[in-house]
């Protein structure tokens, strides 16, 4: 990130579903060259510590605690179905083969906690702009959840409440004259909010709108006790990666020529604490733009999906907040095709429901079957909550 101080310790995300995590010290200063599709104003950025993702490797990864944050807050749940994880990884590899999606290396990709807000009043401003809508969103979802839940009585029990209709059984010595109440929960759901942090999101108020929407949705999901994560996606320059590509001579046209960077604003195992709010509030600050660069949507979508699938839940919902098309130095055609195939694979084969929230843009309609456009934050309670409830509670 732009102004982060480099740490000497190695860190690594302990996610069973994010395969092949390595450790590497970010001891090189990144070059501040401007590239197409992203906003690189603000100069250079350092490579901080973090997790590197390797989609094709299904080996078990190790875990170490980050010195600047308890790893338990950002590690995914380890208790999950290995078959699902393997299927997701296999599907990701197959999608890359089918679309001729070629990556130079994932060695310099990073997933790590996001920056904190720079200004002391950023959290207060963010809360003030969204507090009035959170209650409305919560009520709408609660009504839908209540309508979907079923409460029934199980008769023929040996304990519980007396069932008047079963008292005749006592005449033949049968003591199963009680009943117990059984409530079927509407949906056991895990949610991932994936925020586009590309350079184009710095235009106008897009990134602020996305940050406010992510906070409002996260606050609502927290109140409803729905497990969720808020994670962003962009890229960062790596001098090491650039030198390695130059050494190879670029004999192959790779999909992307920059390293992925995915900041975690709130982890699955983390409450919406002051620290989490501060990381989200940083998105709403006008001077956070320098680190917003490119967007490699397909890969980041699959990474977020693997993290989401690690959560024990009946349903997995991935909400993408983006202004549209992939953009990064490399082969745009590969990135375009890979995003389309990734969304299709998740929706149709891997049990992840994907919904796009277009931030002041309808470009998401070209990639996501389920989508809705948010032009300004005040539209959130009306525009988004209906679609969200419909997807969460669909039979």
Range of the domain at 307: 71-122+187-393
70 pLDDT higher than 70: no
Residues 266 and 158 in one domain: no
Rounded-to-integer distance, Cα 305 and Cα 95, Å: 14
Higher pLDDT, 75 or 271: 271
354 three-state secondary structure: strand
**Mind listing the pLDDT tens digit for each residue in 227-241?**
999 999 999 988 889
Is 27 a domain residue? no
Q: Which helix (H) or strand (E) holds 92?
A: helix 82-98
Residues 103 and 158 in one domain: no
Residues 241 and 357 in one domain: yes
Q: Are strands 352-359 and 227-236 parallel, antiparallel or unpaired?
A: unpaired
DSSP secondary structure letters along 319-333:
EEEE-S--B-SB-HH
Residues 223 and 158 in one domain: no
345 contacts 369 by C-beta, under 8 angstroms: no
Residues 238 and 299 in one domain: yes
**Mind listing the pLDDT tens digit for each residue in 90-106?**
665 555 444 478 889 89
CATH number at residue 361: 3.40.50.410
Is 49 a domain residue? no
Residues 117 and 220 in one domain: yes
Q: Which long-range contacts (CB under 8 A, 24 or more apart) does 200-204 make?
A: 200/37, 200/38, 200/39, 200/295, 200/323, 200/324, 200/327, 201/292, 201/322, 201/323, 201/359, 202/39, 202/289, 202/292, 204/360
170 pLDDT higher than 60: yes
14: number of CA atoms within 13 Å, CB side? 15
Residue 173 per-residue DSSP state: T
66 three-state secondary structure: coil
Is 381 a domain residue? yes
199 pLDDT higher than 50: yes
Is 37 a domain residue? no
The CA–CA distances, whole Å, from 161 to 151, 156, 232 equal 15, 11, 50
147 three-state secondary structure: helix
Domain count, the chain: 2
Is 304 a domain residue? yes
Residues 98 and 160 in one domain: no
DSSP secondary structure letters along 279-328:
HHHHHTSGGGGGG-B-B-HHHHHHHHHHHHHTS--SEEEEEEEE-S--B-
Residue 17 per-residue DSSP state: T
Residues 156 and 294 in one domain: no
Question: What is the model's pTM?
Answer: 0.68
**How much is the pLDDT for 204?**
82
Q: Indicate the average pLDDT of the chain.
A: 77
């Amino acid at each position: 990130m732009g102004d982060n101080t480099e740490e000497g310790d190695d860190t690594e995300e302990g996610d069973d579903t994010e395969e092949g995590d390595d450790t590497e010290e970010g001891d090189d200063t990144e070059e501040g060259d401007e590239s197409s599709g992203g906003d690189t104003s603000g100069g250079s950025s350092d490579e901080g510590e973090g997790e590197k993702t390797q989609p094709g490797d299904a080996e078990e990864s190790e875990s170490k605690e980050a010195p600047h944050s308890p790893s338990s807050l950002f590690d995914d749940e380890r208790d999950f179905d290995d078959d699902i994880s393997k299927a997701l990884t296999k599907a990701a590899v197959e999608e890359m083969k089918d679309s001729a999606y070629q990556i130079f290396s994932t060695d310099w990709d990073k997933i790590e906690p996001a920056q904190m807000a720079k200004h002391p009043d950023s959290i207060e401003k963010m809360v003030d702009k969204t507090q009035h809508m959170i209650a409305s969103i919560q009520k709408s979802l609660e009504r839908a959840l209540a309508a979907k839940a079923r409460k029934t009585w199980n008769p023929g029990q040996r304990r519980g409440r007396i069932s008047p209709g079963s008292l005749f059984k006592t005449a033949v010595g049968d003591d199963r004259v009680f009943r117990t109440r059984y409530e079927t929960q509407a949906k056991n759901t895990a949610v991932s909010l994936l925020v586009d942090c590309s350079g184009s999101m710095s235009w106008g108020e897009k990134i602020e709108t996305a940050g406010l929407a992510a906070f409002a949705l996260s606050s609502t999901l927290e109140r409803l006790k729905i497990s969720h994560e808020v994670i962003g996606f962009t890229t960062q320059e790596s001098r090491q990666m650039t030198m390695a590509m130059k050494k190879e001579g670029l004999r192959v046209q790779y999909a992307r020529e920059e390293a992925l960077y995915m900041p975690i604003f709130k982890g699955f195992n983390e409450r919406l604490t002051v620290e989490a709010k501060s990381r989200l509030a940083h998105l709403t600050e006008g001077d956070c733009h320098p680190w917003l660069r490119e967007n490699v949507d397909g890969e980041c979508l699959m990474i977020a999906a693997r993290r989401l699938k690690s959560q024990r839940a009946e349903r997995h919902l991935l909400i993408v907040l983006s202004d549209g098309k992939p953009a990064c130095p490399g082969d745009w055609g590969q990135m375009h095709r890979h995003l389309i195939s990734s969304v299709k694979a998740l929706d149709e084969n891997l049990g992840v429901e994907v919904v796009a929230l277009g931030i002041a843009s309808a470009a998401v309609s070209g990639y996501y079957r389920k989508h809705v456009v948010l032009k300004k934050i005040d539209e959130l309670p009306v525009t988004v909550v209906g679609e969200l409830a419909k997807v969460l509670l669909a039979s």
